[in-house]
Amino acid sequence: MILRRIIEHLKLQHWTAVVIELLIVILGVFIGTQVSNWNLERTTNRQAAEFTVHLKEDLREEDWGYQMMIQYSRVVLENAERTVQALDGAAPASDEALLISAYRATQYKQKLRRRATYDELISTGTIGLIRDRVLRDTAMRVYNMPTLDNMVREGMQSRYREAFRMAVPNAVQRALAKSCGDRFLKVGDYAGIAGVLDYDCHPELDAGTVRAAAADLRSNPTIVPLLRLRVADIETRLADLTGNNREIMEGLRAIAQEKP
């Protein structure tokens, strides 16, 4: 319609009308472009805000999991050292206490990572929507840090764990797991972390069974060397989490302590 009018004005050499019509076209294109840009910016800002909220929620849970791994591993480490001291005579322990600490030294914690938001941002190439640089860098370092996965893998594949499982009768292991194993803990419960594995317990086993199982451990020449190896592995990973990766831990702590 406008183009037809411009052509007619050109034929009639109505230059003023031509200029006016062209200005109308240019103004219309400009306004349309601006509206489109505004809509795109508004959509982008909304997506950025939503992703930021979701990423912070994920990282709050990651912080809880990080603290869980640290405190839980410290309890396992304490039990491993206690077992070594009992077996080498440095700190004698009763048969029941030996079995409990030896069992708890085999334990490891595996938790599903909460990383759906980060994975979506990476897979779609939209990580730049997270404009908070500290938040973005913390997420990238948390989800690409191998230490947590290494801790789980080493716990699962621990040679000490294997030796203990082979040396102690299954009935005794089941009784230990029932009475002295991990307690359930709701995600986000920081106060309850310490009590997941560190609590008083007494397996439902008769004295003869306890004595025989403890004797099996005491007479096994591979237990102490493998425990020492397990102690060294746990100490290394704890040093990674709390020392080498302190900035990650502090970044997670800061996000977790923000008001949602």
Residue pLDDT, tens place only, 179-204: 999 999 999 999 999 999 999 999 99
Tell me, letter by letter, the H, E, C secondary structure of 74-95: HHHHHHHHHHHHHHHCCCCCCH
Least confident segment among 45-54, 78-87, 171-180:
45-54
In 89-158, where does DSSP find H-type helix? 95-104, 116-123, 133-144, 147-156
pLDDT at 71: 96
Q: What is the mean pLDDT of residues 15-27?
A: 59
Residue pLDDT, tens place only, 152-179: 999 999 999 999 999 999 999 999 999 9
Please state, in angstroms and rounded to a whole number, the distance separating the CA atoms of residues 143 and 150: 13
In 89-123, where does DSSP find H-type helix? 95-104, 116-123
**Does residue 35 register a pLDDT over 60?**
no
Residue pLDDT, tens place only, 126-145: 999 999 999 999 999 999 99
Looking at the 3D structure of the chain, how many domains does it have?
1
**Does residue 7 register a pLDDT over 70?**
no
Domain enclosing residue 252, as ranges: 2-256
Residue pLDDT, tens place only, 206-230: 999 999 999 999 999 999 999 999 9
